[in-house]
A and B are shown apart, each in its own frame.
Chain A
Amino acid sequence: MEIAPGEPLKFGVLQTFSGGAMPAGLEQARTVELAVAERQNMLLGHPIQLLVEDDACSAEGGANGALRIVADPQVIAIFGTNCSSAAVTASEIMSMAGLVMISSSNTAPELTVVGNHLGRHWFPGYFRTSWNDTETGRAAAMFAAQQLGLHKAAVLHAGDSYTKGLTDAFTKAFTELDGQVVAKIAVDEDDPNFLPALETIARSGAEMVFFSLSQPGAGGRLVLQAQGQHALANLVWIGGEGMLSEAFIQDVGSAGVGVYILGPGSPSSLENMQLRDQYRQRYGETPPSFYYSFTYDAVSLLFGAIESVASRDKDGTLRIGRQALRDAMYATRGYEGLTGTIDCNRFGDCGVATLNVVRMERAGMSVEQLHANVVYIYTSSR
């Protein structure tokens, strides 16, 4: 593509700005803004223009948001999405338009690779600095089977790509470790009544439940409704990283004591702290998760790749080859980012999985305290 002198370099920002997953979308969109502001809104001597769209954290939202972005033929790449379910459709539309899309929190295996098989929703040009949930599932299964010595598990998800993908990954890894998944349950996250699901768990004879939900409120309701039920008294709860939030801690109260949560390892480098402070200064609040680091790495990685492939004509016109940009991204090796050393594989997985299992010791812990109470650390073998 060609960009005339003075014309902007356009990037889509496709994140969630409505519904329960809005805080995550807002955090990542703000971090893109922050990373761009750090460069005085300029790249290769051209102003940077961000086209921001809401993906509503759903397949249909992702598709329509992506269509709005790719309608402009001058868009180079998309930062997003935060929800895997939105990426499933957005990735295909972006790919057909010849763009690059980089996510900092999609973890659904099907977006890249599942085991040795190409994911059902993999499309050329898709990248992520976040990890693949194959790793998350393995981390949870290893913790449950090897650390806690559990053999029978129930899994619960919300039926979408992210939550179901994660429980599938857990099921595979747990079974490989000789565990048995005795119940697989899908729920609606906005359903006020989880008792039938809990009854199924109780009947199944499960020793533990691995629950993967996007909305912390739903996780809180699930654990609360189990409280006081004799048949569930000794059940071990392990939640996906969606529960690593203030909202879950508040909702669940003392019923959450003893619940394990799996989430990204807390980045503690000086650069990370500085970025966190900048975020707080600019937006008046602390980022609600650690994904800002992954977003910052996504921006740096993409801008670096653009700088490496761009060329300039005599008349000042900037040229960026779309395929060249994809190739440069796939060729990323040893990039030192805030989240670790980044290598991109041929499926677009660039993230390093450092995952912690934390335990809620008492009601009213802060998110920071919960993050700090690590009981198990998992690092991918990549």
Chain B
Amino acid sequence: MLSNYVLLNAVRRRTESAILSSMQIQRLVLEMSGGLEKARRLQRDFFLRYPEIGFSQAHTIYVTEALVQLDSVKGKSEELKTLIASSDVSDALQDSDIDLNLYLSSVERYAETLNESVNLMTVLADDETGLLARLSKVSGALQVDLARSGVDAWQKVYAVMQLNEKDYLITSRRSYIQSTYNLAATLMYEIEVSAALPDDLKERLLENLTAYSLLANAVVEQDIAIRAKSRDFELQAQSVDPISADLIVLAEAEVLRAQEQVVQTNRLATVALVAITVVSLLLMNSIAYVLNKSITQNVIRLTKAAGQMRAGNLNVSAPVESGDELGELAGTFNDMAAELRASFDALQKVEQRYRALFESSNDAVFIMDLEGVYLMVNRRAAEMLGYSVAEMIGMNPSQVVLPQEYEDSRKKLYAVQKGAQLPVYERTMRCKDGTYVFVEVSMVLVRDADGDPLHIQSIVRDITERKEAEEQIRLLNAELEQRVIERTKQLQVANDELESFSYSVSHDLRAPLRAINGYSQIIQENHRSELSSESARLLDLVQQNALHMGRLIDDLLKFSRFSRQPLKKQTVNPNQLVQQALQILETQCADRPIVFEVGELAPCQGDASLLLQVWVNLLSNAIKFTALRESARIEVGCQPDAYGRNTYFVRDNGVGFDMQYAGKLFGVFQRLHSTSKFGGTGVGLALVHRIISRHGGRIWAEAEPDVGATFFFTL
């Protein structure tokens, strides 16, 4: 009997220790995994947010916190290592020692790499002292000085250098930067040998071109180092993530192992109790048989106490106070009962601690019967779903899982019933108030000591916050991608224009044209009498065409200038711009009545001088193409589009055009009407299109022949 007590106590102590250490292991493993995930999220947020909120603030908010998290993960993994070494855990967990070494060193390296990566980013992109900021400053100075030099060819070379720089930022190919060096070398050579350039300008240009090349090189080196760090992070994740996943599985198995030990201990306690009770009864019967009636009363008391004990009352004691053997027997019985009571108290405490851990868990825990009906849920589970614990008992997953996911949940429950081990999976759960939470679920079958299924335990973690952060990052990534696409488009457009201009137009064309015009004028004025009438007519034609060509060149140069002029965005009042445009165009419509209807135009963000040109060109077009109307009508207005953006328009009742040619409207030199009917160079709308594009807006037209045309644009 006494050996039964000793055994019971030993098992109780071991069980208690197993439960505590297994729960502690599980807690550490989950906290390590969560901490690592949080550090990664903070790191991602740092890189996404620093352009918006600045380096130092992003560093304080995200990096410092990420390093704190990593330090905590490191501390916990060291604690886990010690705990595993000192506990009686499974062989599989004992064997994880090497993995834990790697986990620990990888986390340390993660913190180092994060610091290095942030330092590299600071050197590259700090708002004040970063290489990119310095490059931009040198670029600005170069641009100004090259414009001062008055040599267009140099400015064009420099524009190509900047395009190369942007191409590098998009593609990360060094050959673009190498092209830039080559162009910089060409420029430096030409500047050095130029006799026309003032010395101070020459010196400044050479100095800035050298600085530009050095900074561009430093940007490339920094960029390569940053990309290497990104690959480093990926490799670290490849080392750490599988270990993390394995540890979670092992820790869960450890908890199950401890639970099985509880079941075994309970069984052992029951067997011991029955054995003690039976032995006690036998003892009493023997005593009753041997002793005479004088001690019957004491026997009856003893029997009654034993009966109460058998009925489950462990607080009972036998009230026998005689000094004989019966008294000794009753004393032994009472001691045994006290021991038994202490054992059960201890077991109850273990049960209470388990329950406390169950209740204090940050994860929701559901204990289900084999059909999935909730037998027990912790407070976190009830809080997460908005029910009370009492309400949840008796419910089942079909009432809380998203209907379209229920079938899969049912299959998983069935698989677990059959003993399958499922990996952690994600689910959407419906709360009492109709809102949803995203969760990660792990589900295991708990068996009794004989291996028969007892119940199903499901641990559910709320990952709504993580899901939302992932969604936000996805959206940010999508936006970034969109920006890259748009940037590429802008670059392409800029490239095309540059090419077109470098071959077709140069201000040098103006000189010979002026000569043609001037000499024709001299002939007209001084030698007209010597010309035949046919020669005079032909000379008129030469002059008219020279003037037209002059206008074409002027328009093209204007187009070129407006295309490159830096945007100075500010809040602009379009009503004022329209009034200014009408004043400019006053002479164009002075000879005929035109009704202008100008509605209220919403303010916008843009470059006022460029937008004035837009209004001038659109209104000039409307005036021009209503020339054949007796009562011309031009309407200017603003209306919101489907997305709520302001769409401005200019509508006329002029000659209109066939919509099948609408695609040609905005090309340089594209004209839909002959110059004999309506003058112009075919550059006006191209210029409007260019200015609107540079504002990130869109322009389009709707028209009908002989009815009129409407030009719409957004900014």
* A interface residue numbers (CB < 8 A to B): 56, 58-61, 63-64, 67-68, 70-73, 159, 185-188, 191, 193-197, 199-200, 203
Q: What would 25 A/B residue contacts be, using CB atoms closer than 8 Å?
A: A56-B235, A60-B228, A60-B229, A60-B232, A61-B235, A64-B236, A67-B102, A68-B102, A70-B105, A71-B101, A72-B101, A73-B101, A187-B178, A188-B172, A191-B175, A193-B173, A194-B175, A195-B175, A196-B176, A196-B178, A196-B179, A199-B178, A199-B179, A200-B182, A203-B185
Closest to A72 in B: B98
B568 to chain A, nearest CB (A): 34
Question: What are the nearest 6 A-B pairs in CB distance?
Answer: A71-B102, A196-B178, A60-B232, A71-B101, A64-B235, A196-B179
B358 to chain A, nearest CB (A): 34
Please, which residues of chain A bring their CB within 8 A of the CB of B220? 186
Q: By the criterion CB–CB under 8 Å, are B235 and A196 in contact? A: no
Known A-B contacts A60-B235, A64-B238, A187-B175; A199 and B102 likewise in contact (beta carbons under 8 Å): no
B185 to chain A, nearest CB (A): 6
Is B174 in contact with chain A by the CB < 8 A criterion?
Answer: yes
**In terms of DSSP, what is the predominant structure of the interface of chain B?**
helix
B170 to chain A, nearest CB (A): 14
A89 to chain B, nearest CB (A): 9
Q: How distant is the Cα of A67 from the Cα of B238 in the complex, in angstroms?
A: 12
Q: How distant is the Cα of A185 from the Cα of B238 in the complex, in angstroms?
A: 34
Q: How distant is the Cα of A70 from the Cα of B239 in the complex, in angstroms?
A: 13
Known A-B contacts A71-B98, A72-B101; A196 and B182 likewise in contact (beta carbons under 8 Å): yes
Q: How distant is the Cα of A187 from the Cα of B99 in the complex, in angstroms?
A: 39
Closest to A195 in B: B175
Is B224 in contact with chain A by the CB < 8 A criterion?
Answer: yes
Please, which residues of chain A bring their CB within 8 A of the CB of B182? 196, 199-200, 203
* B interface residue numbers (CB < 8 A to A): 98-99, 101-102, 105-106, 109, 172-176, 178-179, 181-182, 185, 220-221, 224, 228-229, 231-232, 235-236, 238-239
Please, which residues of chain B bring their CB within 8 A of the CB of A56? 235
Q: By the criterion CB–CB under 8 Å, are A58 and B174 in contact? A: no
Given contacts A196-B175, A197-B175, 19 further A-B contacts (CB under 8 A): A59-B228, A60-B229, A63-B109, A63-B235, A64-B106, A64-B109, A64-B238, A70-B101, A71-B101, A71-B105, A73-B98, A188-B173, A188-B175, A196-B179, A197-B178, A199-B179, A200-B182, A203-B182, A203-B185
Closest to A158 in B: B174
Q: How distant is the Cα of A337 from the Cα of B216 in the complex, in angstroms?
A: 48
Q: How distant is the Cα of A186 from the Cα of B101 in the complex, in angstroms?
A: 39
Please, which residues of chain A bring their CB within 8 A of the CB of B235? 56, 60-61, 63-64
Please, which residues of chain A bring their CB within 8 A of the CB of B178? 185, 187, 196-197, 199-200
Q: How distant is the Cα of A203 from the Cα of B187 in the complex, in angstroms?
A: 13
Closest to B230 in A: A60
Please, which residues of chain B bring their CB within 8 A of the CB of A185? 178
Closest to A93 in B: B105
Q: By the criterion CB–CB under 8 Å, are A64 and B174 in contact? A: no
Q: By the criterion CB–CB under 8 Å, are B105 and A191 in contact? A: no
B459 to chain A, nearest CB (A): 29
Q: How distant is the Cα of A58 from the Cα of B228 in the complex, in angstroms?
A: 8
Please, which residues of chain B bring their CB within 8 A of the CB of A203? 182, 185
Counting chain A CB atoms within 10 Å of each CB, the highest count among B99, B105, B173, B221 belongs to: B105
Q: By the criterion CB–CB under 8 Å, are B231 and A187 in contact? A: no
Q: How distant is the Cα of A194 from the Cα of B236 in the complex, in angstroms?
A: 33
Please, which residues of chain A bring their CB within 8 A of the CB of B228? 58-60
Please, which residues of chain A bring their CB within 8 A of the CB of B179? 196, 199
Q: By the criterion CB–CB under 8 Å, are B173 and A64 in contact? A: no
Q: How distant is the Cα of A58 from the Cα of B235 in the complex, in angstroms?
A: 11
Counting chain B CB atoms within 10 Å of each CB, the highest count among A59, A194, A196, A200 belongs to: A196
Q: How distant is the Cα of A203 from the Cα of B178 in the complex, in angstroms?
A: 12
Q: How distant is the Cα of A71 from the Cα of B97 in the complex, in angstroms?
A: 9
Q: By the criterion CB–CB under 8 Å, are A71 and B99 in contact? A: yes
